[in-house]
Chain A
Amino acid sequence: MASLPETEVKTLTLTIDGQEVTVEPGTTVLEAAQSVGIDIPTLCHDPRLEPFGACRLCLVEVEGGRAPMPSCALKCGDGMVVHTRTERIMKLRKFVIELLLSYHPLDCPVCEAAGDCRLQDYAYEYGVAVSPWGWHPLEFDTRDDHPNIARDPNRCILCGRCVRICREVMGIGCWGFRSRGYDTIIDTAYNMPLEAVDCVSCGQCVSTCPVGALNMKRSRFGARNWQTEKTMTVCDYCAVGCEQEIQTFRGELVRVKAPTGEGVNAGNLCVKGRFGMEYVNSNERLIAPLVRGEDGLLAPTTWDDALARVAEGLKKAKAAKGVGVIASARCTNEENYLLQKLARTVLGTNNIDSGARYNQAAAVATVGKVLGYPAMTNSVADIVEAEVLLIAGSNTTEEHPVLALQLVKAAREGKELIVVDPRRTDIARRASIHLAVKPGSDAVLFAAMLKHIVDSGLHNKDFIAAHADGFEELVESVKAVTIEAAADACGVPAADIKSAAELYAKAAAASIFYSAGLTQQHNGAAAVTALADLAVVTGNIGRAGTGVNGLAGQANAQGACDMGCLPDYLPGYVALDDAEAVKTVEAVMGRVSDKIPGQIIGSMLQGIVDGQIKALYIVGENPAISEPGAAVVKEALEKAEFLVVQDIFLSETARYADVVLPACAITERDGTLTSTERRVQRVRKTMDCLEGAKADWEIVLAIANELGAGWTYTSPAEIMAEIALAVPTYAGISYERLEQGGIQWPCVDAEDDGTPILYTEGFPGGRASLAAIEVSDASVADIAAGNGFSLLLTTGIEREHFGTGTRSRRAAGLTGLVNEGRLEINPTDATALGVAPGDRIRVTSVSGSIEPVAVVTAGVPQGLVFMPQHYVEAPATALFPAQVDPVTAVPLLKAVAVKVEKA
C-alpha cells in the first residue's frame, strides 16, 4: 500500500539557560524548556489550549530581544539564546504574584485547591508573603447552583482557562469574561445557571482551573490532593479508554482526575468519567453471596455454600446440555477469557455471549468480513488528519464524549462533517451536511452514495485493482439504485446525497465513524458493510485520517469479542469450523468439546422458555432491562431452573437469581480492558476489595475448580500470559509491557509496538472482500405503524448515564444532573397530542408500555420520538419485540411503532 514519502524534518536548536535543546519547528520556548526539565511558571497555560499569554508569569529573556517575552506563545527559533531566570525576570514574576495576592483571598486553610494550587506554589517559591499594595479582596456574589461544579469567583485570577477550554476543547462556550477592570468576573451570559447555557457538566473547566475558583463540589472537604492515594487506571463506562487518576482516602474513592497529556484522553474526561465513579462507594453494593431459600427470598450465605450450589446447578444443567453463559463487556479481558474457557472447556457449551452483542459483535460479520479485523481501523490520535468525516448512527458527543472532542475540533477547524442521523444531535448541528434519514434507510443512503461515486468515476480504480475483490459484484448490487429513489426512501434531498458522496470520495483523507445507531437499526449489517465498501472503493483505508471506525459501546466490548465471548468464535475470532485454527487454540486453552456454534443472549433466553436451556450464568449484564422482548425475558428469568447472577449490585436481573455472587468493582481489581481503538490498557486496583465481594476472575476460577477444572491461576497477569498464547493479535502483550502504557493490537511479539492504524501494509487476507449491498425489503416499511401507532420510537444513550443504569444511577454526581426517563418529542407532534413539556406520558407499543416525562424539542423530527435506555422505571427496550439483525444477531433497538398519550 502507499507509504508516506520520507519527508525531511528540519529541526531547530536553541539554548535555554545554557542547555542546548533541539526541537521541531512550531515548538514553543515553554515546551522546549519543559522537555529538558527547565521549569517555567505558568498560570494561564494548559497544553490542551491555544497559547493565551495573559498571566505574564512565563516571561523569559531572549538575547537580542528588547522586552521579556511570554514563553508559552513564543515559537523557538534556530540559534535562539533564552534565559528563564534572570534577575529581571524573577523580579517581574514576583511582581505579578504580588499583584495577584493583592486581591486573592488567603483562605487556603479551607480551599479545596490547597496543595494543588499553582498560585500557592508560586507565592511560596517566589517568597511573596504579603502584597506591598495591601489586600483588597473581591466581593463578588454569584450563583453557585451546579450540583457538581463549585464556583468561587473571589478566588479567580482571570487566567481564562475555563473560558477557553469550554470554547476550544468542548466547542461549547458556557463561560465568558464579564465587564471590565476590577469588575471583571468569569460568568455565564446573564449569570444564567450552567444548566441553561448548554453546560454538559464535563467538569473540564474545573480540571483546568489553576486555583480554587472552580472545584469539584461533591468532594469538597473530603480529602485534599496530598492526602489521597492516587492510582492510574482506565474508565469503565464507554470504550474510548480514557485514563483516570483515581484518588482514594481511607479506602474510599474521593475524586477522579486525568493528568494532562496522559493517555488517549490527554487530560480530558466526560461527565461520567469525572463524576460517575462514585457508585463504587455506594452502600447498595453486594457484600455477601445470596441464595434463594425455601421461602423464595434471597438470603445471605457463605462463599463456600454459594459456590457449591453454583457448581451443583451448573453440573446438573451440563448433563442436560442446557447451560448458557453471558459475559460482560464491562469485565476485563482476563475475566472474559476465563469465563468463555469455563463455558467451553468445563461446561462443554458454546452458549457464550456478552453485552458486546448489543453493538460491537456486529463488526465480525460486517467490517471483519470485508477488511479482515472486526475492529476500528484507525486511532483517536489520527482523526486530526481527516479532511472529511462521515459520522453515521453515532451521537458521538454523548456516547463517546472524549473521542468526540476530536470531531468537534475538526468541525471548528473547518473540516467537513457529514452526519447521518434521524435526530439533530449535537454533532449533527456541527456538520456541513446533516442527512436526517428515515430510520432504517441508512443502507439505502450508502448504496446511493456508492452508486454516485462509481457513476461519477470518483472511485479509486488503482486501489481497487491492487487491493480488493468483488468490485463488479458490488457495482451490480447497486445497479438498480437511483439517487432520486434513494432520496425519497431516506427522506433527504438528492443534492445532499450527491454532495456527501463527492465530499467523501474526493477528500485526500476521509474517515468514517459509526456506532449502535447503525448496528441496532433495521438493515444495520447492510449499512455497516456498505460503509466498509465505501472506504475500500475510495481508497480511504490504511492511512492516517481514514478508515471505518466502529465505536464500541461498553468499556471492554472489543475485548469481550477478542476473548471469544461469542457463540461462534473462539478467542482471536477462530471460527469453530476452522479445524486447524481450533486446534491451535485448544493447545493453549484445553479441549473445546462442542464444535457447533452456541446461542446469543436472546436465543438463550428463548431457549429457557422452550425448555432447552436449564441454567444460565450471567456476569455483570442486566438482560432484564437491556434485552428487547420484555415478556419473553421475564418468563425466561422466572422459569430458569438455575440462574446465577454475578454483579456488584442487586440488578434487576439479579433479583430473579437463585444464587447472587457479589463481585468487586473495577477500582478493586487488576486486569486489562481493550478500548474501541484496540488499545489494551491496564485497569489497576485502587482500593481494597469490598469485604465479602470477590474479583470476577477469582469467582470464575473458584467455580471452575469447584467443577474439578484444577485451574491454578494466581493473578490476572498470569491469565494474560495465556491469552497472549491463544490470541495471535495479543501475542506481544504482557503486564510488564503494559506498565509503559497501552498497546494497540495486533501486537504480534515482544518487539512489536502495536498497530495504531490497520491495513497500512495491506489486508490480512491479502485483499479486501467487497460485499454486495443487500437491503432487505422488510425494512423501513415494516417498522411503520399500524394499530394507530403513528410514531416511531428510537432509543440511545444519553450523556449522563450508561447501560441499564446499574452503575450510573448509583453515582450521585450523575443522578444529581438527570435521574428520570425522558421522551423527546417534536413540538408539532406534542401540540397535536396535547403534550406539554414535563408532562407524564404513556408510550405504548405492541410489546409494552412505559411512562416517561415529555421533553419537547425540535432535535427529533416530526414522527419520531426518542428515549434513552437507562431507566428501569421506564425501560425503553421493553417496547421492542425480540428481534435481531439477521446477519449480525444484534438486537434491533432503534425503531418501533408507538403511540404517545398523556398518562
Chain B
Amino acid sequence: MVEETLDLAPLQDVLEEYKQQPGAIIPVLQKAQAIYGWLPPEVLDAVARGMHVPVSRVYGVATFYSQFYLERRGRHTFRQCDGTACHVRGAASIIEAVEKRLGIQAGETTPDYRVTFEVVYCLGSCGLAPVAMVDDQVVGHLVPSKALEILDNLE
C-alpha cells in the first residue's frame, strides 16, 4: 500500500467556516468525508482541535452514524441489495459471485482500493429486484454475469 500524506489544508477551510458553531461536528465530518472519501485519524484529530472538543467526542459521533467511514474506501462502491424482494429474486448468488471476483467479503474494500463492496437492506426499488447501486447509479434486474461485467468495467 502506498503511504500518502494527507493534505489537511482543504479541511482547515471547512473548520474556519464552522468555527463559530461549536455543535456543528456532523456537517464538518460530512464535508471532511466529501474531501477525503473517508475519515482518517488525522482528520478526526484536526476536527477535534479545530472544534475545540476532545477527539473521543468526534470519534463518538463518527462511530454513531453509519454514513461516516473510519476505514479507507474504494474509488467505487458496489452496494448490493439483499432486502426481501431482492433476496427472493436471487441476490444471494450475485453476492457470492461478486465476493469471489473481488476476493473480499461484503463490507470490505479491495486491497488496491478500487471497489468497496457492501450488502444493504432495501434500496427502495423493489420493482427492479435484484437491484444494486454502483456509486450513484441504480442498476436493476441484475444477474451474476451482468454484475461481474459492471464490476470489471470499473476503472
Contacts and interface: CB of A to CB of B under 8 A. Distances in A.
Tell me if chain B binds chain A: yes
Interface of A: 163, 166-167, 172-180, 187-190, 197
Contact of B54 (A172, A179, A187): A172
19 contacts: A163-B56, A167-B54, A172-B54, A173-B55, A173-B56, A174-B54, A176-B54, A176-B57, A177-B64, A178-B60, A179-B64, A180-B63, A180-B64, A180-B65, A189-B54, A189-B56, A189-B59, A190-B59, A197-B56
Contacts, number: 40
Q: Which 4 residue pairs spanning A and B have beta carbons closest together? A: A173-B54, A176-B56, A189-B59, A176-B60
Contacts of A166: 54
Nearest to B54: A173
Given A189-B44, A190-B41, A177 B60 contact: yes
Contacts of A190: 41, 59
Given A177-B60, A178-B60, 18 more contacts: A166-B54, A173-B53, A173-B54, A173-B56, A173-B57, A176-B56, A176-B57, A176-B59, A177-B64, A179-B63, A180-B63, A180-B65, A188-B56, A189-B44, A189-B55, A189-B56, A189-B58, A197-B56
Interface string B27-51: 0000000000000010010000000
Contacts of B57: 167, 173, 176
Interface string B48-78: 0000011111111001110000000000000
B6 to A, nearest CB: 16
Contacts of A176: 54, 56-57, 59-60
A180 B63 CA distance: 7
Contacts of A177: 60, 64
A197 B41 CA distance: 13
Nearest to A179: B63
A189 B61 CA distance: 11
A180 B68 CA distance: 13
A260 to B, nearest CB: 24
A163 B61 CA distance: 14
A174 B63 contact: no
A858 to B, nearest CB: 15
A173 B53 CA distance: 8
A174 B64 contact: no
For the side of the interface on B, what is the size category?
10 to 19
Contacts of B63: 178-180
Contacts of A172: 54
A175 B56 contact: yes
B102 to A, nearest CB: 26
Determine which residue in A167, A177, A188 has the highest number of CB atoms from chain B within 10 A of its CB, and name it. A177
A712 B88 CA distance: 97
Interface string B112-153: 000000000000000000000000000000000000000000
A690 to B, nearest CB: 43
Contacts of B64: 177, 179-180
Nearest to B52: A412
Contacts of B59: 176, 178, 189-190
A410 to B, nearest CB: 15
A151 to B, nearest CB: 14
Contacts of B53: 173
Contacts of A163: 56
A494 B63 CA distance: 46
A283 to B, nearest CB: 40
Nearest to B53: A173
Nearest to B45: A189
Nearest to B70: A190
Determine which residue in B44, B64, B65 has the highest number of CB atoms from chain A within 10 A of its CB, and name it. B64
Contacts of B54: 166-167, 172-174, 176, 189
Determine which residue in B44, B56, B58 has the highest number of CB atoms from chain A within 10 A of its CB, and name it. B56
Nearest to A177: B60
A174 B63 CA distance: 16
Contacts of B60: 176-178
Contacts of A197: 55-56
A201 B95 CA distance: 48
A324 B63 CA distance: 65
Contacts of A167: 54, 57
A190 B41 CA distance: 9
A52 to B, nearest CB: 14
A176 B53 CA distance: 11
A172 B41 CA distance: 18
Nearest to A178: B63
A177 B57 CA distance: 7
Nearest to B65: A180
Determine which residue in B44, B54, B57, B58 has the highest number of CB atoms from chain A within 10 A of its CB, and name it. B54
Contacts of A175: 56
A187 B54 CA distance: 13
A163 B58 CA distance: 13
Nearest to A191: B59
A799 B5 CA distance: 35
A189 B58 CA distance: 8
Contacts of A179: 63-64
A173 B44 CA distance: 14
Interface string B79-102: 000000000000000000000000
A356 B44 CA distance: 46
A163 B44 CA distance: 18
Contacts of B56: 163, 173-176, 187-189, 197
B45 to A, nearest CB: 9
A163 B59 CA distance: 13
A408 B57 CA distance: 19
Nearest to A184: B64
Contacts of A178: 59-60, 63
B84 to A, nearest CB: 22
B57 to A, nearest CB: 5
A166 B44 CA distance: 19
A129 to B, nearest CB: 34
A232 B58 CA distance: 40
A197 to B, nearest CB: 7
B55 to A, nearest CB: 5
B67 to A, nearest CB: 12
Contacts of B44: 189
A177 B61 CA distance: 8
A351 B52 CA distance: 53
Nearest to B55: A189
A163 B65 CA distance: 19
Contacts of B55: 173, 189, 197
A337 B75 CA distance: 77
Nearest to A198: B54
B14 to A, nearest CB: 20
A328 B100 CA distance: 76
A163 B57 CA distance: 9
B32 to A, nearest CB: 15
Contacts of A174: 54, 56
Nearest to A188: B56
Nearest to B44: A189
Nearest to A172: B54
A128 to B, nearest CB: 29
Contacts of A173: 53-57
B147 to A, nearest CB: 30
A574 B119 CA distance: 83
A167 B63 CA distance: 19
A176 to B, nearest CB: 3
Contacts of B65: 180
Contacts of B58: 189
Contacts of A180: 63-65
A814 B19 CA distance: 39
A239 B155 CA distance: 67
Determine which residue in A172, A173, A174, A176 has the highest number of CB atoms from chain B within 10 A of its CB, and name it. A176
A684 B46 CA distance: 49
A178 B65 CA distance: 10
B148 to A, nearest CB: 33
A296 B41 CA distance: 62
Nearest to A167: B54
Nearest to B59: A189
